[in-house]
């Protein structure tokens, strides 16, 4: 898996239930718009506001709706180990390209040994030879990081299974450290602002929230790998970063599609305020 991957937004209906039909249609559109793959049930998709059963139903809907399993890297990392195992096993059996796994994030400041055991148990208990794990490093949200030493241990213990990482640290030097420490490891940066720099160091691409609204341009930047294309996508990213990102992306899709239902987010998130909506309109 390489290129531009979208951490897919989750549409909700008026009762804040996941809307499977719109979800499948949106995923198909993202692939048509140039995304190389999709990462449902990540931070942008409000995964940790979804139940295990809801994630399973949405994955089933994607597969039944003709979205190729090999284009999918579902987020499966949960605070509870059995939930991570259950979701990872389902994705692996379906033939998904991999799973994106958060560290257990409720208990803060866990030891390296504790985190290693958590990932190891998740892999061992999933027990699927087709399992491919992409680690998810987003310490500013999870408050639990994934160190280079931990990655080294996991790669040694699970070669061919621990495949790559989404580095959402928002620190380019950290991404570079990953690329230099682990040649051949699939490193996806979590923002397209670092796309060109990451590719020049041998990175795999980006898994970026704004691919939900700007996939053609980001995909073009991946293909052409030029400073000009990088500047173009930076402008869009910086505009959305001025607002609550998930709500702003949903607002943009609601306006573009004419479907106001896209504005719905699950608590504790809230939709954009009138002033924030006006700010987005001016961008």
- Cα 118 to Cα 8, 105, 121, 157, 182: the distances in Å are 26, 11, 5, 13, 21
Among residues 48, 234, 211, 229, the alpha carbon closest in space to that of 136 is found at 48
Q: Residue 261 CA to chain centroid, in angstroms?
A: 22
Residue 248 has phi, psi (to 5 degrees) of -70, -40
**Calpha distance 183→265 (Å, rounded):** 39
Give the contacts of 27 (CB within 8 A, at least 6 positions apart). 8, 38, 40, 62, 65, 67
What is the chain's pLDDT, residue by residue, as a tens digit (283 residues)?
A: 899 999 999 999 999 999 999 999 999 999 999 999 999 999 999 999 999 999 999 999 999 999 999 999 999 999 999 999 999 999 999 999 999 999 999 999 999 999 999 999 999 999 999 999 999 999 999 999 999 999 999 999 999 999 999 999 999 999 999 999 999 999 999 999 999 999 999 999 999 999 999 999 999 999 999 999 999 999 999 999 999 999 999 999 999 999 999 999 999 999 999 999 999 988 7
Residues belonging to the active site: 43, 106, 136, 166
**Calpha distance 43→142 (Å, rounded):** 10
Q: Which domains does the chain have, with CATH numbers?
A: 3-225 (3.20.20.70)
């Amino acid at each position: 898996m390489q290129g531009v991957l979208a951490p897919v937004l989750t549409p909700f209906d008026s009762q804040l239930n996941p809307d499977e039909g719109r979800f499948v249609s949106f995923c198909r559109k993202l692939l048509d718009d140039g995304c190389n793959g999709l990462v449902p049930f990540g931070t942008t998709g409000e995964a940790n506001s979804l139940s295990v059963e809801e994630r399973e139903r949405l994955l089933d809907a994607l597969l039944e709706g003709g979205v190729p399993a090999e284009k999918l890297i579902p987020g499966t990392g949960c605070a509870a180990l059995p939930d991570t195992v259950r979701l990872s096993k389902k994705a692996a059996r379906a033939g998904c390209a991999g799973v994106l796994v958060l560290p257990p994030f409720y208990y803060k400041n866990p030891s390296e040994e504790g985190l290693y055991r958590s990932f190891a148990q998740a892999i061992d208990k999933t027990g699927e030879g087709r399992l491919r794990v992409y680690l998810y490093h987003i310490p500013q949200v999870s408050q639990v990081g994934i160190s280079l030493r931990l990655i080294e241990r996991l790669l040694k213990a699970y070669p061919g299974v621990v495949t790559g990482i989404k580095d959402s640290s928002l620190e380019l030097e950290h991404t570079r450290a990953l690329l230099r420490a682990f040649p051949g490891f699939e490193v996806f940066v979590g923002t397209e602002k670092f796309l060109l720099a990451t590719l020049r160091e041998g990175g795999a691409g980006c898994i970026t929230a704004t691919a939900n609204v700007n996939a053609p341009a980001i995909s073009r930047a991946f293909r052409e790998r030029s400073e000009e294309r990088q500047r173009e996508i930076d402008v869009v990213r910086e505009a959305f970063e001025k607002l609550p990102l998930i709500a702003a992306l949903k607002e943009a899709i609601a306006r573009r599609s004419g479907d106001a239902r896209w504005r719905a987010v699950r608590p504790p998130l809230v939709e954009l305020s009138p002033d924030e909506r006006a700010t987005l309109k001016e961008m």
